Amino acid sequence: MVLIADADFIYDANVVRRNQVPGLGVVIPELLNENLTLVQNAVEQLSGDPDLINVRSRSSVRRPFTRQSEWYREAEQKYSDALANFAAQREEVASRLGAILAQTPDNIDEALLSPEVQAEMKTLQEQEAEFRKKERDLQKEVTREFRRKLATYKFGNTLLMPVLIVIFGIGLAIYRRSKVAAR
């Protein structure tokens, strides 16, 4: 939906100046404003075809989605303590595992290690894998919460405008009908 609140934005006298070349009888149009570009951009955007959008060059304008970045930071902050805790525990387990592996000589097989050392290594490896899984799950939860907020926002925007237009149209119809009925 494109709403333009200018009644004469495509009226020729406001959009194009006609310059006549003396002696040749040729008229050269000169654009006075960017209304034609506005209409072209609206058609391209509404058609949704990326090839049409990329045909004309545009000046690069960087407009980051700051609100979305804020939402993602909020979701990260909500789970940051748990993520830091799991990361610290994983690092601790990895360092203990590294210490055990550093104590074993290079030429000795794992089969020659004592059963206690093997059991300790196995539990440490399982703990490390578990902490990594918990970190991934928390990161997925952060992304899920961010996407939930984004979907709510998009749904609100997509639903709100048509509902407002329908309500305005119904109100306008009722108003006009009451004016006609009063006569």
Residue 51 lies in a domain: yes
C-alpha 128/C-alpha 121 separation (Å) is 10
Residue 103 lies in a domain: yes
Please count the other Cβ atoms lying within 10 Å of the Cβ belonging to residue 27. Answer: 10
C-alpha 92/C-alpha 99 separation (Å) is 11
pLDDT band at 175 (very low <50, low <70, confident <90, very high): very high
Q: Which of 4-13, 31-40, 161-170 has the highest mean pLDDT?
A: 161-170
Closest by Cα among 160, 154, 155 to 68 = 154
Is residue 56 within 8 Å of 43, Cβ to Cβ?
Answer: no
Residue 92 lies in a domain: yes
Residues 74, 119, single domain; the answer is yes
Residues 47, 75, single domain; the answer is no
Report the domain count for the chain: 2
Residue 168 lies in a domain: no
The predicted-structure confidence for 10-55, as pLDDT tens digits, reads as follows 666 767 777 777 777 777 777 777 777 777 778 877 877 666 566 6
Residues 18, 71, single domain; the answer is no
Residue 162 lies in a domain: no
Residues 56, 71, single domain; the answer is no
The predicted-structure confidence for 61-116, as pLDDT tens digits, reads as follows 566 777 778 878 887 788 778 777 777 877 887 787 777 777 766 655 555 666 77
Residue 179 lies in a domain: no
Residues 27, 88, single domain; the answer is no
Which of residues 122 and 10 earns the better pLDDT score? 122
The parent domain of residue 31 ranges over: 12-60
Q: What are phi and psi of 24, to 5 degrees?
A: -100, -25
pLDDT at 173 over 90: yes
Residues 95, 113, single domain; the answer is yes
Residues 143, 75, single domain; the answer is yes
Residues 29, 105, single domain; the answer is no
Residue 164 lies in a domain: no
Please count the other Cβ atoms lying within 10 Å of the Cβ belonging to residue 161. Answer: 12
Confidence (pLDDT) at 169 = 96
Name residues whose C-beta falls within 8 Å of residue 83's C-beta, 6 or more positions apart in sequence.
Answer: 135, 138, 139
Confidence (pLDDT) at 58 = 58
C-alpha 109/C-alpha 14 separation (Å) is 87
pLDDT at 138 over 80: yes
